[in-house]
Structure 1
Amino acid sequence: MASVVLASSEHRLAARRFEVERLVAALAVVLVFADLPSVSRFEVSLIVSAALAPVWLGLLRHYEGAVTIVTIAALALLNGLVLAMTAGSRLHGVSVEHGLSMTLHLLGFVSALGAVLWARTRLPLPAIGLLAGLAMLLTVSRTSALYASNPWRFGWSIPVTIVVLSLAWWSGSRSLQVVALLVLALLSVVNGGRSNFAMLALAAVLMVWQALAQRDGSRHSRSWIPIGLGLGLLAWVAYHAITWMILTGRFGSQAQERTVDQLNTSGSLLLGGRPELTATLHLMAEQPFGFGLGVLPTLNDILVAKSGMASINYDPNNGYVENYMLGHGFVLHSVFGDLWANFGVLGLVLAAAVLVIGFRATATRLQSGIAGGLVLYLLIRVAWGTGFSPFSTSHLTIALFLGLVLIARREEDPA
C-alpha cells in the first residue's frame, strides 16, 4: 500500500514539474522572439536562449540536421575570426563593434534554434508559432522611417501572418489555413507587398496540393528530391505569373509603374528591386573567400560594389553604398551575402545547409500530409530572405522555421 502511495506521489510531482517546464518553455519563446531593448549590446533573445543551453544542447542529436547546422555555424565563426586576423595583410581595418554584432547574431540564431527545439518537447508546434508571433506583434518597432511610410508592410505584416497562420494550424483545418493564407495575401496586395503576396499565394497552392495528394491516396517516392524540384518549378511559375499580373495592372497602377521602372532599369524584377545583389556578386568575384568578422571595406571594395550596381543601370552615387552597405562594415542586405562577407566560404555553406535541410524537412512533412501553412510560408520567406534580407533581421525567423520543421528522430517527441 505504501509503495502505491509513493508511486502516486512521484507521478503527481512529475506532472507538476512538466507543467512548470511548459510555462518556462512558453515564457522562453516569448522572450526569444520579442524585440526588447538590448542589455549591454546583448539581445534579450540571446541571453534567454543561451541560458537554456544546458537543456537544449543534448536535444540537438534527436532532430535531423540540427547538429549539422550548429557545427557549421561554429566552424563559420572560427573562420570569420581567422579571416579578420589576416585582414591587415589585405589593407583592411577591423571594426570590433561590427564584428561583435555579427557574432552575437550568429550565436543568437543557434541558441534560438535550440530553444525552439526544446520548447517542442513541452508545447504543440502551433502554440510555439503563436507565442513567437504574439511576441513579435507586441514589440513591433514604430520608430523607423520605413514603418512610417507603410506600417503594415514594414511592421505588422510578418507578426500578424505568423499569429493568424498559427491559430489556423492549431484548428487542424486545412481549409481554414488556405483561407487564412489567401486573406493575408489580399491584405498584402492592398498594402503594396508584392513579394509577401507571392509567398502567401504560393503557400496556399502548396496547402491545396498537399490536400489533393492526401485525398488521392497515391504513394509518393520516399525521396524528398522530386518534391524539392517541384517546389522550385512552382516558384518559377508563380514568379512569372505574378509578374504578368502586376504588369497588367491587377495589383494597381502604383505597383505596375514601380515594376515597369525596375524592369526598364535592370531587365529583371529581382535585380531591379535588390541592386545589392549585383554588388555582392561583384565583391565575391573580387574576394572569393570573404573578408572576415568586422572587417572594414576599402575604397576599392566600394568601387567594386558600385560597378556591380551600375551594371544593371542603378545609380550607386547616392550615398547608399558609403553610408549603409559599406559604411561601417559589410552589410549586403542578404543572408548569404552577410554570412559570406563576415564568415567566408563557411558562411555560404551555412546558408546552403539551412536551405537544403529546411527544404528536405518540409518536403518530408508534405509527403506525410502534416505540413502546416505557417511552415510553408516560413520556408518561402526564408528562401527569399537568403537572397534579399539582412541576416541581422532574419536570423530569428530562420531559427523559428527550422525549429518548427526539423524532423524528430525519436517517436516520443510530442511534436
Structure 2
Amino acid sequence: MQTSTRTSPQRPLPPRPLGVRDSGDVRFTAPRPLEQIIAIVLPVSLGVGYTISNGVQVGHVVAFLLLPVWFSSVRRFRGGRIVLTLGAIAPIGGAVLTAVGAVDHSVSPVALFVNSVEIIGLVLGIGSLLWARRVIGGPWVAVFFGLGMVAGIPFGNGLSSANPWRFAYSLPLTVLLLAIAWQLNSRVAAVIAAGGLCIASALNDGRGASAMLAMTAMLVLWQVRPTAAGRRASAVRTMLSIAALASVVYTVAQAVILGGLLGERTQERTQAQIDTSGSLILGGRPEAGATVSLIGEQPLGYGSGIVPNLSDILTAKTGMSAIGYSPNNGYVENYMFGSTFEVHSIVGDLWILYGLAGAALALVFFFTTFQILSHGLAHRAASALIIWLAVRMLWNLLFSPVHSSVPLIMLFLGIGLVARATEHTLAGPPHPSPHHAIGAR
C-alpha cells in the first residue's frame, strides 16, 4: 500500500556522522576508510587553492589523479554531464579563437595556458566533489572545503589589502560557518551565522556581501512559514517570491547606506555610483558597458590567449562611457585589458575568452542555479549555505570575474546539483523526510 506524501512538519534530524549521506547521495554500503580519507583530503586541497605554477593548483592535480574514481559519479546528477562537457569544450574553443585572432592581435601563450587551466580545473573540481559528496555527504564536503579556504588565506594577497575582512576573511569564514550550521542541521545556527556575517560585512564596506547574507537569513526563515496541509510551493511561485524579496533587500539596503548608517565613506561612494549612471548596480559595475560593446562587436568571442589591442580597448571604453562612466584611467588599461580580457562578469569572461561554448556554459550555470535553488526552497529543504551560494552565483554571473568566482562555482555545483531519480533507485528508497532533499540534512 502506498503511503501518503502529505506529512506534518518533522523535527530537524540530528547531525549525522561522517560517511552518512543525503538522499541522492546515499549508498547503503559503508565507505572504506581509505575512501573516506581521500574524500576529506580532496575538498581541503581544492579549498586551499594553492597554486603550483601558471594556474595549476594542488587541488587540480589531486582531482585529476582521481579521475577514474569520480568520473562515473557525474551522470548521477542532473546537469552534471552537460556542465563537464561544456567545461571541457570551452578551452578548445578559446584556443581555436586565439589561433584565428592571431591574424590581427598579439597572442600571450601564458594567458592561453592559465585561462585554459582555470576552466579545466573547475571541471575537475566539480566532478570530484560530486564523488566526495556521495562518500561523506554534502555537509561534510562543504565543511572541509571551508577549512581549506580558511587555511588558504595566507596564500592570497587579501591580508595586505586596505580591507582584509572583505578581501581575505569574508568568503572563507562565510563558507565554513554556514557549512558547520548545515552539518549541525540547525536553522537557528544558520540564521545566527548569516546575521553575524552580514553585520561584519556591512561594517567593513561589504555592501553586496551584507545584502546577500541578509537575503540568505530571510530565505532560511521563509522556509518555516505555515502553509496549507499537503501544499508544496511550485518552482515558479518560489522564484517569484525570491525576486520580490531581492527587490525589498536591495531597496532597504540602498536606503540604509544613503542614510549614512554604514558610515560616511560608504554613503559617499554609493551616492557617487548612483550619480554616475542613475543606478547603484550599473554605477558600481561599469564593466557591464564594456561587455555589451565587446560582444556586440565580436559575438563569436575573442580567444583565451588574445591580448586586447587598441581597437578592443576603444570599443570597451565606448560602452562604458555610454552608461556615464569615465573610462580614461589606469583601471581600464591595466586591469581590464592589460594582458587579457577581464570584464568583471562570469558571463562576459566566458563568452569573450571561450566563445560560444563559454556562453553556453554560462547559460547552463544560470539554469542550474535556478534549478538547485527552486528545488530546495520548494521542498523547504535548502540550507543557508546552498541559498547563499546560489544568490552569490547569480550575482557573480553578471558582476564578478570568473577567476575569483571559480572556487564558489566549484563548491556550489559540487554540493548542489540535484540527484537524478535513478540514483534513488540504485541506492534504495530515499528517506521520506523533506530534510533529506538537496541542500538539507
Structure 2 length normalisation: TM-score?
A: 0.86
Q: Which residue of 1 aligns with 2:114?
A: 101
Is the aligned partner of 1:308 residue 2:322?
Answer: no
Q: Which residue of 2 aligns with 1:36?
A: 50
Q: Which residue of 2 aligns with 1:240?
A: 251
Q: Which residue of 2 aligns with 1:210?
A: 223
Q: Which residue of 2 aligns with 1:370?
A: 381
Q: Which residue of 1 aligns with 2:276?
A: 265
Alignment of 1:264-413 (within 5 A): 264-409=275-420, 410-411=423-424, 412=427
Name which of 11, 14, 22 aligns with 2:36.
22
Shift of 1:228: 2.5
Is the aligned partner of 1:151 residue 2:151?
Answer: no
Which amino acid in structure 2 is aligned with residue 331 of structure 1?
E
Q: Would you say the 8 A contact 1:56–1:118 is kept in 2?
A: yes
SS at match of 1:407: coil
Shift of 1:82: 2.2
Q: Distance in 2 between matches of 1:143 and 1:346?
A: 30
Q: Which deviates more from structure 2 when the two are superposed, residues 72-81 or residues 151-160?
A: 72-81
Which amino acid in structure 2 is aligned with residue 154 of structure 1?
F
Per-residue CA deviations over 1:98-155 (Å, capped at 9, x if unaligned) read 0111110101111100111011111122211111111111111476378420110110
C-alpha distance 253-95 of structure 1, shift in aligned 2 (>3 A): same
Shift of 1:283: 0.9
Q: Distance in 2 between matches of 1:45 and 1:217?
A: 47
Q: Would you say the 8 A contact 1:178–1:207 is kept in 2?
A: yes
Q: Distance in 2 between matches of 1:40 and 1:247?
A: 43
Per-residue CA deviations over 1:84-109 (Å, capped at 9, x if unaligned) read 221134x1222111011111010111
SS at match of 1:38: strand
Q: Distance in 2 between matches of 1:125 and 1:145?
A: 28
Q: Would you say the 8 A contact 1:108–1:396 is kept in 2?
A: no
Per-residue CA deviations over 1:192-218 (Å, capped at 9, x if unaligned) read 1100000000111111111115x6545
Q: Which residue of 1 aligns with 2:178?
A: 165
Name which of 205, 213, 231 aligns with 1:219.
231
Q: Which residue of 1 aligns with 2:13?
A: none
Q: Which residue of 2 aligns with 1:181?
A: 194
Is the aligned partner of 1:65 residue 2:79?
Answer: yes
Shift of 1:375: 0.6
Is the aligned partner of 1:127 residue 2:128?
Answer: no
SS at match of 1:229: helix
Alignment of 1:43-122 (within 5 A): 43-89=57-103, 91-122=104-135
Shift of 1:52: 1.4
State the number of aligned residues. Answer: 398
Q: Which deviates more from structure 2 when the two are superposed, residues 161-170 or residues 229-238?
A: 229-238
SS at match of 1:170: helix
Amino-acid identity (%): 37
C-alpha distance 141-303 of structure 1, shift in aligned 2 (>3 A): farther
Q: Would you say the 8 A contact 2:277–2:283 is kept in 1?
A: yes
Shift of 1:391: 0.9
Q: Distance in 2 between matches of 1:44 and 1:84?
A: 27
Structure 1 length normalisation: TM-score?
A: 0.91
SS at match of 2:102: helix
Q: Would you say the 8 A contact 2:71–2:128 is kept in 1?
A: no
Which amino acid in structure 2 is aligned with residue 158 of structure 1?
L
Q: Which residue of 2 aligns with 1:196?
A: 209
C-alpha distance 41-350 of structure 1, shift in aligned 2 (>3 A): closer
Q: Would you say the 8 A contact 1:80–1:343 is kept in 2?
A: yes
- Computed over aligned residues only, the root mean square deviation of the Cα atoms, in angstroms, reads 2.0
SS at match of 1:59: helix
Shift of 1:77: 2.7
Shift of 1:311: 2.3
Per-residue CA deviations over 1:41-63 (Å, capped at 9, x if unaligned) read 52112111111111111111100
Q: Distance in 1 between matches of 2:297 and 2:273?
A: 26
Q: Distance in 2 between matches of 1:390 and 1:181?
A: 24
Q: Which runs of 5+ in 2 are unaligned?
A: 1-28, 431-435
Per-residue CA deviations over 1:272-300 (Å, capped at 9, x if unaligned) read 11121111111111111111121121211
Which amino acid in structure 1 is aligned with residue 239 of structure 2?
G
Which amino acid in structure 1 is aligned with residue 405 of structure 2?
S
